[in-house]
Structure 1
Amino acid sequence: MRRKIALIGSGFSGMSAAAYAAKHGYEVHVFEKHNQPGGRARQFTTEKGYVFDMGPSWYWMPDIIEGFFTDFGYKTSDFFDLVSLNPQFEMIFNDEKIAIPKSYEDLKNLFNELEVGAGEKFDEFMNAAQFKYQVGMKEFINKPCHSWKEFLSPKIAKSALKLDLLTNFRSYVAKYFDNPKLRVLMEFPVIFLGASPKNIPALYSLMNYGGYALGTHYPMGGFYQLVLAMQKVAESQGATFHFNKTIEKINTKKGKVTSLLINGENHFFDFVIASSDYHHTETLLDENLKNYTKEYWKNKTFAPSCLIYYLGFKEKIANLKHHTLFFENDLDEHIDAIYNHRKWPENPLFYACCPSKTDSSVAPSNCENIFLLMPLANDIKDNEELREKYLNIMIGRIEKLTKIENLLSKIEYKRSYCVSDFVQDYNAYGGNAYGLANTLSQTAVLKPKIRNKKISNLFYTGQLTVPGPGVPPSIISGKIVANELHKLKTKYDEEKC
């Protein structure tokens, strides 16, 4: 008889784990509290035809995502059309705007225009970043991280110095570039990792390669097409999805999960993989069975939360690109507001995504779909008055860029999403949006473990464990945990024989 696995949550890590576990021959059931898959990457459509991706919008590291589909005999092109954006995005500064071209040579020329000799330095930087990407994504990031012994391979040992694990990212970038705009441009990708560049290991220059060199892409129909594609892959392997199902309790006996209380009924499983928020998952256990205490979580550095607005405009907005980063204000001031002062920023940076520039299907004819995102501290006051205040600030800066007045009057759909919504919808610790920050003290073995230390058949996956935040790492996380579960089950079966 096939062993039964329950997957809690259908975010990217959950769908990935479901697909790989089903491929190993298990009977896999995925339980999702919402009425659709995707977790933070859900999508919704308004009555007038605006289609909004609720979460991820940067399609980077396409090779990692493609690798998931290859493992099951598919290609991404079997499910959706992937467009390479040109420009990749635009950065707005006080005195100029910089469009980041698709072509590597054009990007190198841009660096030379901004700083004499910076093109050659860019080559050096990206060559090193490519090496880190190849080693990091193939040798480093795929480890289950039970112990440091996993990293004693000859290749990793030989590459250790080149990986720059002990250098912080800001100092590393400063060795290559003097121009402050170029430094911001190179520091920007690691913001996705949830901490200041001062606290991120230089290893993560691999993000620059995964973004700038491999390109910024967009799946036609929205990022949600990736969600639907991964669901189809998991189902093709035999996984079954159950929606509107809330896990209320993880029942255990003698060091093993026996059943899950789901919508008031007990369901029995041989293994459980939780892709739900790690801290929340542990609240479903008896106190003495948790991996980590309340103090442990309080002392962790979490990636930010954010204020999001989903906006439908009843006319086209000129001079706005698919991705636009508004960096007119000081990066460190905003970061300090998040991590040190834990308050709403006085002079915020923010990001605007306008997918209707690329994809006419996400907005009605002659209309515009805009997603605004402003990083915020976790666990801070969040109300409608504050949300509206910052919407006005962001709209004012878009008006300045586009030279269009009274943009607020052109909005025909508006929905906000903030700290309290992340808590309500995803049980996110402190309302975080991206998981644990990838600081040096929270890297690899120092992250929360993928196995429960006291319950032999309970596993964890997702952005609060290895390898970390982001869509490609979450997909990898699901693969890691499914493989580890299968290895453990195989070992037990062999011992019984």
Structure 2
Amino acid sequence: MKKQISIIGSGFSSLAAAAYMAKAGYDVTVFEKNDTLGGRARQYKNEGFTFDIGPTWYWMPDVFEKFFADFGRKPSDYYQLEKLTPAYQVYFGEDDSIIIPGSFEEICEVFEAEEPGSSKHLRKFIKEAGDNYKIAVQDIVYRPGVSPLELVTPQTAVRVGQFFSTIRKQVRKHIKSSKLIQVLEFPVLFLGAKPSNTPAFYNFMNYADFGLGTWHPKGGMYMVIEAMVNLAKQLGVNFITNAAVEQIVTDANNKVSEIVVNGEHIKTSLVLSGADYAHTETLLAPNLRQYSENYWNKRVFAPSSLLFYVGFDKKLKNVEHHTLFFDTDFDVHAKSIYDTIEWPEKPLFYASFPSITDDSFAPDGKEAATFLIPLAPGLEDTETLREKYFNIIIERLEKLTGQNVKENIIFKKSYCVNDFIEDYNSFKGNAYGLANILTQTAFLRPKIKSKKVKNLYFTGQLTVPGPGVPPSLISGKIASDLILKTSLL
């Protein structure tokens, strides 16, 4: 009889782990508290419009290729990818934006036009970032975070200084244009921390941006979720939705024995949680929890978000599929997230207009838009505040892009701190997990394997390797590998 493995949550990390464990021959059931699969990467549809609720960027395509290759498949077996050209646009003011092309040579031309001589430094910077990418993403990032020695390799030994310098220092050493600096500092925001707190070694995110490019799966990021679900089902994984796990029960030896789902006791040999780490531990008896609430309160979290999903009755002008609005002071906004913990007075924001690229997102002649304002987790979240900030960003959008759009809104749906807590049991409503700063890297992150409960494991953005979709895929593989190596099954 196959051993029973229960997985909590159905986000990217859980789906990856489910596929690997099923491939290894185990009886895997995924329990999802919501009525649809995908975790933060679910989909929202309304009046003929489609929106990715969570992630909208497809970066690091090699990580997706590696995942599917482990099962003798490739992404194109499930979904169609298109490289975005241009990759994205960044606004700094009225009639003042930089469009990032889809090829590195064209990007160098953009840099040179903005700051003569900068392309020489950019080439050197991206060459180093590419080397770091090979070291990090193709090797170190797949390690389980159980020992500091995992970070010690011949390649990292000669780069030790990069762990104690920062992206901000590295970028600003040779580039002087404030606009180009912001473009180069932007990718580390996916790691959930300020450039001034992110080790310079993480410049591999710049290689992910300029070297590998920005892609779009036709139909959106949810197509990746559907692909992983289909793969897992082909491997025998069972999925149960509307299934809230209320308790993890252990025996006299502190070994997982069963879970309680919607009041029903279900026997299991092992639990892997892709749900919020802090929440998962509240499902245990207090003496079996590894990390206290005080521990979590002292961690540096990646931001939460205020999101709006908006349907427009016309096509918008002067925007790209991915558009960043950096027309206010980044440092002031970042201070409100990480230091003062308050709503930003003048927020930066991001907008995705997928219907520019993909007709499936909106009816003919109309535009689907997702707007995102990064926020500190744990903020007060009210409808009044949501409406206030929607008006702020829409007025800025109109001013910066030279068009009226407010009267063309068919509908809008908001999503913020309270929703992250309600839908995902997210600690303080964080959206991206723990920030990847030096003191929260690798072995310094919460452990995948519980130290107190036998056969309890964790995966996702609060453990290794960190925030983001590709790291979540990798986290699922790391967790499954560790289970196969160390569990008592």
Give the TM-score taking structure 1 as reference length.
0.96
Equivalent position SS for 2:25:
coil
- The letter for the 1-side match of 2:112 is N
Aligned to 2:172: 174
Aligned to 2:28: 28
- Cα separation, 2, equivalents of 1:221 and 1:75: 17
Aligned to 1:141: 141
Is 1:471–2:485 an aligned residue pair? no
Aligned to 1:418: 416
- Cα separation, 2, equivalents of 1:382 and 1:165: 36
Equivalent position SS for 1:204:
helix
- Greater displacement, 407-416 / 271-280: 407-416
Equivalent position SS for 1:434:
coil
CA offsets, 1:171-202, max 9 Å, x none? 11112311111110000001111111110111
Aligned to 2:306: 307
* Counterparts of residues 95-174 of structure 1 (less than 5 Å): 96-157=96-157, 159-161=158-160, 164-174=162-172
1:25 CA displacement: 0.8
- Cα separation, 2, equivalents of 1:389 and 1:50: 24
- Cα separation, 2, equivalents of 1:153 and 1:107: 32
Which of 232, 246, 249 is 1:248 aligned to? 246
Contact 1:249 1:262 in 2 (8 A): yes
- The letter for the 2-side match of 1:20 is Y
- The letter for the 1-side match of 2:348 is L
Aligned to 1:18: 18
- Cα separation, 2, equivalents of 1:82 and 1:241: 27
* Counterparts of residues 327-342 of structure 1 (less than 5 Å): 327-342=326-341
Equivalent position SS for 1:334:
helix
- Cα separation, 1, equivalents of 2:154 and 2:3: 37
Equivalent position SS for 1:165:
helix
Is 1:279–2:317 an aligned residue pair? no
Aligned to 2:320: 321
Equivalent position SS for 2:219:
coil
- The letter for the 1-side match of 2:264 is E
Number of equivalences: 487
Equivalent position SS for 1:392:
helix
Contact 1:277 1:464 in 2 (8 A): yes
RMSD between superposed Cα atoms in Å = 1.2
- Cα separation, 2, equivalents of 1:194 and 1:214: 20
Contact 1:452 1:459 in 2 (8 A): yes
- Cα separation, 1, equivalents of 2:264 and 2:352: 42
Contact 1:317 1:402 in 2 (8 A): no
Contact 2:185 2:195 in 1 (8 A): yes
Aligned to 1:38: 38
Which of 212, 215, 238 is 1:214 aligned to? 212
- Cα separation, 2, equivalents of 1:378 and 1:156: 33
- Cα separation, 1, equivalents of 2:213 and 2:159: 27
Contact 2:93 2:400 in 1 (8 A): no
CA offsets, 1:41-100, max 9 Å, x none? 000211x21111100001000111111111111111111111111110000002511000
Aligned to 2:436: 438
- Cα separation, 2, equivalents of 1:18 and 1:210: 27
Aligned to 1:429: 427
Distance 1:128 1:155, change over 3 A: closer
- Cα separation, 2, equivalents of 1:248 and 1:31: 11
Q: Which runs of 4+ in 1 moved over 6 A?
A: none
* Counterparts of residues 345-364 of structure 1 (less than 5 Å): 345-364=344-363
* Counterparts of residues 374-453 of structure 1 (less than 5 Å): 374-405=373-404, 407-453=405-451
Aligned to 2:372: 373
Equivalent position SS for 1:37:
coil
- The letter for the 2-side match of 1:207 is M
- Cα separation, 1, equivalents of 2:146 and 2:123: 36
Identical columns (%) = 47
1:135 CA displacement: 0.3
Equivalent position SS for 1:86:
coil
Q: Could you tell me which runs of 5 or more consecutive residues in structure 1 were left unpaired when the two chains were aligned.
A: none
- The letter for the 1-side match of 2:123 is D
- Cα separation, 2, equivalents of 1:364 and 1:470: 30
Aligned to 2:268: 269
* Counterparts of residues 73-92 of structure 1 (less than 5 Å): 73-92=72-91
Q: Could you tell me which runs of 5 or more consecutive residues in structure 2 were left unpaired when the two chains were aligned.
A: none
- The letter for the 2-side match of 1:477 is S
Contact 2:87 2:101 in 1 (8 A): yes
Equivalent position SS for 2:412:
strand
Contact 2:249 2:260 in 1 (8 A): yes
- The letter for the 1-side match of 2:234 is S
Equivalent position SS for 2:7:
strand
1:401 CA displacement: 2.9
1:153 CA displacement: 4.0
Aligned to 1:57: 56
Equivalent position SS for 1:437:
coil
CA offsets, 1:335-371, max 9 Å, x none? 0011111111111100010000001111111110000
1:434 CA displacement: 0.3
1:156 CA displacement: 4.0
Contact 1:125 1:176 in 2 (8 A): no
- Cα separation, 2, equivalents of 1:26 and 1:336: 47
CA offsets, 1:267-298, max 9 Å, x none? 11111100000000000001000110111101
